[in-house]
A = this chain, B = another copy of it.
Amino acid sequence: MRAELSRLRDSIDNIDAAVIHMLAERFKCTQQVGHLKAAHKMPPADPAREARQIARLRLLAENAKLDPAFAEKFLNFIVAEVIRHHETIART
């Protein structure tokens, strides 16, 4: 039981490292989006784009056997952070 738990936790740790590195790249992209938006006086949030992202991620989640409601919550969690960054960029 200890060995099995340890094996699963090693996989979880590997996945977390991959996700952290992906998110670092994602924020690099959204920082650039933030600068573009600020330079062109566009609003930080874009509800139409977000609605498309949610629909797409829910479908991807379903196919990957992940709870689509969780995928939506996850995107909202990330987008809240991105909008916080965009607001900071727009202020500076």
Interface residues of A (CB under 8 A from B): 1, 4-5, 8-9, 11-13, 15-30, 32-33, 36, 40, 49, 53, 56-57, 60-61, 64-67, 70-71, 73-75, 77, 81
Contacts and interface: CB of A to CB of B under 8 A. Distances in A.
Contacts of A32: 4, 8
Given A11-B29, A25-B15, A5 B71 contact: no
Q: How many copies does the complex hold?
A: 2
Q: Which of A5, A19, A65, A70 has the most CB of B within 10 A?
A: A19
Contact of A24 (B16, B29, B49, B64): B64
Contacts of A60: 16-17, 20-21
A19 B68 CA distance: 13
Given A12-B26, A20-B71, 20 more contacts: A4-B36, A5-B33, A8-B33, A8-B36, A11-B29, A12-B29, A12-B33, A15-B23, A16-B26, A16-B53, A17-B60, A19-B23, A19-B74, A20-B57, A21-B60, A23-B66, A23-B70, A23-B74, A24-B65, A70-B81
